Amino acid sequence: MSGDSPPRFVLASPESEFYWRSGADGRLRIQRCGDCGRWIHPPGPACPFCHSRRIGPEPVAGTGTVATYTVNHKEWIPGFTPPYVFAFVELDEDPTVRIGTNIVGCEIGEVEIGMRVEVLFEESGEWHVPLFRPAGAREP
Amino acid sequence: MGEPLERRAVISGAAQSDVGRRLYRTGIDLTVDAALRAITDAGLTTADIDGVSTYPGFGGSFGGAMGAELHEALRLSLNWRSSGVETAGPLGAVHNAILAVATGVARHVLVFRTVVEGSGGPLRPGSGSGGGGGMSGSAGPFQFMIPYGAASAACWVACYARRHMHDYGTTRTQLGAIAVNGRANAAANPKAIYTEPMTIDDYLAVRMVSEPLCLYDCDVPCDGSTAVVVSHRDYAPDAPAGAVGVNAIGTAIRGRPSWDQFDDLTSMMMRHTAASMWERTELSVDDVDTAQLYDGFSWLTLAWIEAMGFCGKGESGAFVEGGTNIGPDGAVPLNTSGGQLSAGRLHGFGHLHEAVMQLRGTANIGVDDCEVVAVGAGGGPETGSLLLTKGPS
């Protein structure tokens, strides 16, 4: 997945739009309950824990751990040139917040479960798509 | 709990249409074949059928055919009809029929599952192909995976398989035992898609799809329809081919209904499904004579083996390695008609059909003295199971 960016088919909903726009200022945001403080992902209409409606996006550090991943060898969507890594990253603020993403900025063979990663964003039209790279990596 | 209500139901008939990689026939065309054969198999006529149940209840390559299409095609007169994708996986259509019969709403329910994914076109994101639990938009699994090229359940299941390997030491050679076992059994199934012999070396040499899943870890899309007739157990003595009893249904959805947010990345919803089934029966896993467990991807079968309790958590790799335990003469003969990996992706209903054949003693690879079969179908958040017995339970 080097060179041109693959097509990022973002289908944002009213609840999730903030997630896909959040990177405009370089920060990742996750929905959080204003009453019980729990993190909520994917974003929903109410806090699933205390049922509060006082919910909204809140910045997170953007760091986490690779919970698991796959290396795709099939071009599931035209433009996603294999091989490429799809991973689930668990955020430091709450490991039950699990984010699907691509791991970039390293060799595919370097990706492993437990790897520390940090967010970066890829602009795609009006969206800022969260990607992750090894923690501490420099801008290319 | 008193006697579980599902024991009032039996499976009185079972049949399939032709099954093939590409038949270029419509879903309803195949469905009519399967339905008429199942009704005849049950010793009934279309006039006796007063209920229809199917999954998922829409057309297209994944949906196959709607209940209303069969209703109209056979000019049935129904007291009850049901379909839907928000079930405990594809077997949810059977659960619904069982409950309709048990409550007396219907007496003979025709249940079918049809797929035309062989000739019906390629899998496309958002095309309605594949699962997803019927969820779309903000709550759906696709929104947070499609932008990353994870457009197939292969990608998601691969992530679970990878974590299972990491946590428990499961190997690709162990995973391959599911595919090799299925291929060996498919050789005796005249409707199977792939029957050429496969060795574990063949498996290890084939191309990767989504690591650690290779081509032979993924089932083969096909065209075909499977139908069963669910009847009240009062009818059992009159069922000419023999009635199969329903001992327990597994329906629980106790975790988050999600492919990506399930609490444990080494199991899936079948963990709850199977637990709920065992809660409804005095039988135990030791009573099971053969298991027909979903293999849309080979790793799902490992997850089902653990969920059902044939081995401990994390032990399924060692349990299946070499194929001895799961072979026709093993402790738990598995997917004796070849499963979906080799016999075609009939979406769990191939497994159901084989369970009925085993309990009737008419399977191509018969298990001696078969009295109890566990059937589990589906993956991710869409899983359901059945515990079936020889004769009414």
pLDDT one-digit tens code per residue, A104-133: 999 999 999 999 999 999 999 999 999 999
Q: Judging by beta carbons within 10 Å of its beta carbon (0-12, 13-18, 19+), is residue A53 exposed, middle or buried? A: exposed
Q: What is the mean pLDDT of residues A28-34?
A: 98
Interchain CB distance below 8 Å, A42 and B166: no
Average pLDDT for residues B206-219, to the nearest whole number? 98
The one-letter amino acid at B211 = E
Amino acid B133: pLDDT: 42
Distance CA A31, CA A55 (A): 7
Q: Is the pLDDT of residue B111 over 50?
A: yes
Phi, psi of B56 (to 5 degrees): -95, -5
Quick one: pLDDT band at residue B120, thresholds 50, 70, 90? confident
Q: Count CB atoms within 10 A of the CB of residue B334.
A: 27
Q: Cα–Cα distances in Å, from B332 out to B201, B289, B374?
A: 24, 6, 10
Q: What percent of chain B has pLDDT over 90?
A: 92
Nearest alpha-carbon partner for B240 in B53, B43, B19: B43
| Paired strand residues for B291 | B334, B374
- pLDDT range class, residue A136, cuts 50, 70, 90: confident
C-alpha B41/C-alpha B236 separation (Å) is: 13
The predicted model gives B313-318 an average pLDDT of 98
B334 SS3 class: strand
Read off the amino acid at residue A45: P
Whether omega for the bond prior to residue A48 falls within 30 degrees of 0, making it cis, is no
Asked: is B5-122+223-238 a CATH 3.40.47.10 domain? The reply is yes
Fold of A17-134: OB fold (Dihydrolipoamide Acetyltransferase, E2P) (2.40.50)
The neighbouring-strand residues paired with B110 are B52, B229
- pLDDT band of residue B141 (cuts 50, 70, 90) is low
pLDDT at B154 over 60: yes
Q: What's the rounded Cα separation, in Å, for the pair A112 and B213?
A: 16
Q: Is B166 on the interface with A (CB under 8 A)?
A: yes
Q: Is the pLDDT of residue B320 over 60?
A: yes
Residue B124, number of CB atoms within 10 A of its CB:
12
Res B386 pLDDT > 60: yes
Question: Which of B144, B164, B259, B299 is the best substitution to test chain A (most A C-beta atoms within 10 A)?
Answer: B144
What are B82's strand-pairing partners?
A: B53
- Nearest-angstrom CA–CA distance, B42 and B97: 15
- The vertex-B74 CA angle with B72 and B76, nearest 5°, equals 75
Strand partners, B232: B9
B278-296: pLDDT as tens digits: 999 999 999 999 999 999 9
**Alpha-carbon Rg for chain A in angstroms:** 15
Asked if B264 is an interface residue toward chain A (Cβ–Cβ < 8 A), one would say no
CATH topology for B150-220+246-390 is Peroxisomal Thiolase; Chain A, domain 1 (3.40.47)
**Partner residue facing A73 (CB), from B145, B160, B207:** B207
pLDDT band at A4 (very low <50, low <70, confident <90, very high): confident
Q: Using alpha carbons, list the distances in angstroms from residue B153 to A48, A68, B141, B382.
A: 26, 15, 10, 12
Q: What is the tens place of the pLDDT at every residue in A46-96?
A: 999 999 999 999 999 999 999 999 999 999 999 999 999 999 999 999 999
Looking at residue B140, its pLDDT comes to: 57
Q: Which residues in chain B touch residue A42, judged by CB atoms under 8 angstroms apart?
A: 138-139, 143-144, 261
Q: Tokens 């399930």 identify what position?
A: B262
Domain limits, chain B = 5-122+223-238, 150-220+246-390
Q: Angle B172-186/B298-308 helices, nearest 10 degrees? A: 100
- pLDDT at residue B300 above 90? yes
Question: From CA B340, how far away is CA B89, in angstroms rounded?
Answer: 15
pLDDT of residue A13: 87
The kind and range of the H/E element at B100 are helix B92-102
B9: β partners: B232
Q: What is the mean pLDDT of residues B56-71?
A: 95
Q: Does B5-122+223-238 match B150-220+246-390 in CATH topology?
A: yes
Q: How many helices (H) and strands (E) does chain B have?
A: 12, 11
ipTM associated with this complex = 0.96
Q: Closest Cα to residue A35, out of A50, A48, A57, A46? A: A50
Query: Residue B136 pLDDT > 80, yes or no?
Result: no
Q: Which residues pair with B11 in a beta bridge?
A: B230, B244
Residue B316 has pLDDT above 60, yes or no: yes
For B300, the token pair is 């799902």
Dist CA B378 CA B268 (whole Å) = 10
Residue pair B84/B46 in contact (Cβ under 8 Å)? The answer is no
Q: pLDDT at position A138, please?
A: 56
Q: Distance between CA B110 and CA B92 in Å, rounded? A: 14
Q: Sheet containing A28-33: which strands, arranged edge to edge?
A: A39-40, A28-33, A55-60
Which tens digits make up the pLDDT trace of B5-39? Answer: 999 999 999 999 999 999 999 999 999 999 999 99
A70 → closest Cβ in B146, B147, B162: B162
The whole-chain average pLDDT of chain B stands at 94
- Looking at chain B, the whole-number percentage of residues with pLDDT higher than 70 is 94
**B144/A74 Cβ within 8 A:** no
Residue A45 has pLDDT above 80, yes or no: yes
Tokens 């029929």 correspond to B97
Q: Helices marked H in B122-252 — which ranges?
A: 153-168, 172-186, 200-205
Sort strands B382-390 and B244-250 into parallel, antiparallel or unpaired.
antiparallel
CB B51 within 8 A of CB B110: yes
For residue range B329-377, list pLDDT tens digits in order. 999 999 999 999 999 999 999 999 999 999 999 999 999 999 999 999 9
Of B139, B210, B265, the CB nearest to A72: B210
Angstrom distances, CA of residue B356 to CA of A78, B141, B278, B359, B361: 42, 34, 20, 5, 9
How many other C-beta atoms are found inside a 10 Å radius of the C-beta of residue B125?
17
- CB contact at 8 A, B257 and B133: yes
Amino acid code (one letter) for B184: A
Interchain proximity A100–B149, CB inside 8 Å: no
Contact status of B209 with chain A (Cβ, < 8 Å): yes
What pLDDT score does B134 carry?
Answer: 39
Taking the Cβ of residue B207 and every Cβ of chain A, the question of whether any pair is shorter than 8 Å is answered with yes
Q: Which amino acid is at B139?
A: A
Q: Do B145 and A100 touch (CB under 8 A)?
A: yes
The pLDDT assigned to B142 comes to 80
Domain residue ranges in chain A: 17-134
Q: Is A123 within 8 Å of A106 (Cβ atoms)?
A: no
Q: How far apart are CA B159 and CA B153, in angstroms?
A: 10
